[in-house]
Chain A
Amino acid sequence: MSVREAAREVGLRLAAASRLNAALAWSEAALLAEADRVDGMPARGALHGMPIAVKDNLVTTGLPTTCGSRMLAGYVSPFVATAVDRLRAAGALLACKTNLDEFAMGSSTEHSAFGRVLHPLDPERVPGGSSGGSAALVAAGVVPAALGSETGGSVRQPASFCGVVGVKPTYGRVSRYGLVAFGSSLDCISVFGRTVADAALVLAEIAGADPRDATTVDRAPFRPQPASATLEGITIGVPKEYFPPDLHPGVQAACDASLGRMKELGARLVDVSLPHAPFAVPAYYIIAPAEAAANLARFDGARYGARARGDGDVRAMYRATRGNGFGPEVRRRILIGTYVLSAGYQDAYYARAQAVRARIAADFTDVFATGVDFLFTPTTPTPAFKAGEKIADPVAMYLADIFVCSANLAGIPAVSIPIGRFEGLPLGGQLMAPHFEEAAMLAAAATLERHLDGTKEVAP
């Protein structure tokens, strides 16, 4: 099949999946132009002709970048994100920009100014978030892979809800240049794939130091490894904090099945403890909003994006622009972030959260130092929940990320793979690894993936 034909088919699939509201900007003309560009490349890249959807907080010059916000409705960036540039240079087709929680703040993709994204298997439910549009398009078979971004699990959590693979690399592995910042010390461009191999292939292309991002790390290039036949010689830690007594029975059953399969494959399972895990979500909801409050200050109506007139001076313009341009969740987080950094509160909140974060990271280091290769946990505490279920209670929504946000705080890589279904809804299992151990982690995930039917209904 030619690249042009592939592009045309993606267009047909995107049109057919439009009810999901997962794709924001795309056009057949843009797709065909992408195909022609790839056909004109002097050599076949590693992603030759592969259509890839990109979360709409990664800037692109051809298609608008809205971040799911009224603030940036219609905004077309004058520069391209490094990750998108690298994908395209490897021969991938930029298929479309995908819907998200506004500025990536949310766990359900309900907080988009352009409407919520539907779960591909159940329109009543959410696909997870904030990269819900990318997850839904991969799950619906529209594209084999997509880029999302994580600040606190925003790829692994929707991957789990939608039944696809989600990989978060080590912080610093992938350039953030061109990723609209939310929580800069946590933000990680991450990858969805239908399989671990697809996700690994894409990750390998976008990884690597970037002179435009001072937080990228100059490491030997990441090379995907094939699945191995067994998990012989591998030690899997099972942290007790991730398996509370009241864990959802379906989630528990699916995890038990996965752990059993890993044991059969030769892995050694050990019980471990990450004592500061219970503080991950509160620490996260201080650090991420604090950084976000500063990162989103630039949306002031002065240089780009929406502007509301206000009535009078420049401050009136700022307040009106930001008051109208940001949705309720973004406004809440800006206010919280402002609060935890403000005079008199910074030590009790922000400084303490950073100290807790250091302890959370140290917990991982300690466990890995005992000879544990990877940790296995559920990705989410429940299957996909219903739209509207948590929208009125921000804290309940935040707790949807309880198992995923530690990896962001510690900067370590993690992957979620489908490990079964409960009442037809996908469930994800998570492997977490030491810094820069993506290759080994993904090889183990691929081994488990091969020996597990991720679509099988579990029996609690």
Chain B
Amino acid sequence: MNVSEQDVLHMARLAELAVDPDDLETLTVQLDRIVGFVGQLAGAGDLAARVLHPDGPERTPLRPDVVNPAPLARPPSAFAPEFIDGFFVVPKLGVIEDA
């Protein structure tokens, strides 16, 4: 057993993902199987140190400090779920972080 129901709930909290209690058992079995499967890498032998960036250019290009925002074909109000007086609006923060 690699993954417990507690682990799944912990990951779900970190990922802000509601998990239906009815799905928890099946999900745990599936994730346990996946983690077991990817855990095969333990058998890949001695490996070189981790690479910084696996692909693409070796160094990042840099852009000049010029104000030229990529245009928006429609304004935020056109795609935001809730937009009031120029602001995106979301439910209030929880008590613990209301600071």
Do A and B touch each other in the complex, judged by CB within 8 A?
Answer: yes
Using a CB–CB distance below 8 Å, which chain A residues touch chain B?
A: 61, 75-80, 171-172, 185-186, 211-212, 214-218, 276, 279, 282-283, 285-286, 293, 297, 300-307, 310, 312-320, 322-324, 326, 331-332, 334-336, 338-340, 342, 348-349, 351-359, 361, 394-395, 398, 409, 411
Q: A285-B38, A335-B8, A359-B48 are in contact. Are A78 and B79 (CB under 8 A)?
A: yes
- B41 and A286 within 8 A (CB): yes
- The 7 residue pairs across chains A and B that have the minimum distance between CB atoms: A323-B18, A215-B56, A411-B55, A355-B47, A307-B81, A318-B16, A319-B18
Instruction: Decide if B34 touches A336 in the complex (CB within 8 Å).
Output: yes
Out of B11, B48, B51, B80, name the residue touching A303 (CB < 8 Å): B80
Looking at the assembled complex, report how far the CB atom of A105 sits from the nearest CB atom of chain B, in whole angstroms.
Answer: 13
Beyond A332-B31, A342-B11, 16 extra complex contacts between A and B, CB < 8 Å = A171-B56, A214-B56, A285-B37, A304-B81, A305-B81, A314-B91, A317-B91, A322-B17, A331-B27, A332-B27, A335-B15, A336-B34, A338-B14, A355-B49, A409-B54, A411-B55
Could you list some 28 contacts between A and B, CB below 8 A? A78-B79, A79-B72, A172-B56, A185-B53, A185-B54, A211-B61, A216-B56, A310-B91, A312-B94, A313-B92, A314-B94, A316-B91, A317-B91, A319-B17, A322-B15, A324-B18, A326-B17, A335-B8, A335-B27, A349-B41, A353-B41, A354-B50, A355-B51, A356-B41, A358-B47, A358-B51, A409-B54, A411-B55
Task: Using CB atoms, name the residue of chain A closest to B19.
Answer: A323
Residues of A contacting B15 in the complex (Cβ-Cβ under 8 angstroms): 293, 297, 322, 334-335, 338
A-B contact count (CB 8 A): 192
* Interface 0/1 of B57-96, CB less than 8 Å to A: 1001101000000111111101111100000101111110
Which residues in B have their C-beta under 8 angstroms from that of A361? 54
Residues of A within 8 A of B25 (CB): none
Listed residue (A276, A310, A336) with the most chain B CB atoms within 10 angstroms of its CB: A336
C-alpha spacing A311/B72, complex, angstroms: 32
Closest-CB distance, B36 to chain A (whole angstroms) = 9
Task: Check B16–A319 contact: CB distance below 8 A.
Answer: yes
Total count of chain B residues near the partner, CB < 8 A: 58
Q: Which residues of B contact A332 (CB under 8 A)?
A: 27, 30-31, 34
Q: Is B99 interfacial (CB 8 A cutoff)?
A: no
Query: For the complex, is B1 an interface residue (Cβ under 8 Å from A)?
Result: no
Report B16-35 CB contacts with A as 1/0, cut-off 8 Å.
Answer: 11111000000100110111
Tell me if B11 and A282 are in contact (CB < 8 A). Answer: no
Cβ-defined contact, B11 with A339, below 8 A: yes
Cβ contacts under 8 Å, A340 to chain B: 38
B73 touches A304 (CB 8 A): no
Report whether A78 and B78 are in contact in the complex, using a CB–CB cutoff of 8 Å.
yes
A305 to B80 CA separation, bound complex (whole angstroms):
7
Q: Are B54 and A357 in contact (CB under 8 A)?
A: yes
Closest chain-B Cβ to A314's Cβ sits at a distance in Å of 5
Roughly how many angstroms separate A307 CA and B61 CA in the complex, as a whole number? Answer: 36
Q: Shortest beta-carbon distance, B58 to chain A, in Å?
A: 10
Using A172-B56, A315-B16, A395-B34 as known contacts, say yes or no to A279 and B70 having CB atoms under 8 A apart: no
Contacts of B81 in A (CB 8 A): 301-307
CA distance A302 to B80 in the complex (A): 7
Q: Establish whether residues A358 and B94, one from each chain, have CB atoms under 8 Å apart when the complex forms.
A: no
Complex CA–CA separation, A411 to B56 (angstroms): 8
Which residues of B sit under 8 angstroms from A79, Cβ to Cβ?
Answer: 70-73
Given contacts A211-B61, A354-B50, A359-B48, contact A394 B30 (CB under 8 A): yes
**Residues of chain B within 8 A of A186, CB atoms compared:** 55
For A354, the chain B residues whose CB sits under 8 A away are 50-51, 54
**B40, CB-defined interface residue at 8 Å:** yes
Q: How far is the CA of A357 from the CA of B92 in the complex (A)?
A: 43
The answer to whether B92 and A282 touch across the interface, beta carbons within 8 angstroms, is: no
CB distance from A101 to the nearest CB of B (A): 16
Which A residues are in CB contact (< 8 Å) with B41?
Answer: 279, 282-283, 286, 349, 352-353, 356
Q: Which residues of B contact A334 (CB under 8 A)?
A: 15, 17
Within the complex, what minimum Cβ distance (angstroms) separates B56 from chain A?
Answer: 4
A339 touches B91 (CB 8 A): no
Q: Which of B8, B19, B30, B74 has the most CB of A within 10 A?
A: B30
Q: Is the CB of B3 within 8 A of A339?
A: yes
**B72: which A residues are within 8 A, CB to CB?**
78-79
On chain A, the residues within 8 Å of B93 by CB distance are 313-314
Asked if residues B54 and A358 are in contact (CB atoms below 8 Å), the reply is yes
Q: Are B55 and A185 in contact (CB under 8 A)?
A: yes
